[in-house]
Amino acid sequence: MSEKSCNFAAAMKRYALIGRRLGHSWSQRWFEGLFRHLGLADHSYVLHEMASLDGLRQWVEHERIAGFNVTVPYKRDILPLLDGLDPVAREIGAVNCVTVEGGRLVGHNTDAPAFLSTISDLQLSSALILGTGGAAQAVAWALRQLGVEHLFVSRNPQGDRQVSYSALPSAHYPHPTLLVNATPVGMYPDIDTTPLPADFPFSTFNTQLVYDLIYNPSPTLLLRQAAAQGVPTRDGLAMLHRQAELGWELWNGKQKKED
Residues assigned a catalytic role: 75
CA distance 106 to 98: 5
Q: Hey, which residues does 130 pair with through a beta bridge?
A: 153, 181
Can you say whether the dihedral through the CA atoms of 190, 191, 192, 196 is positive or negative? positive
Task: Report phi then psi at 144, rounded to 5.
Answer: -65, -35
Taking CA atoms, 101 is separated from 87, 118, 137, 144, 192, in Å, by: 17, 30, 26, 30, 41
CB distance 226 to 201 below 8 Å: no
The gap between the terminal CA atoms of the chain, to the nearest Å, is 41
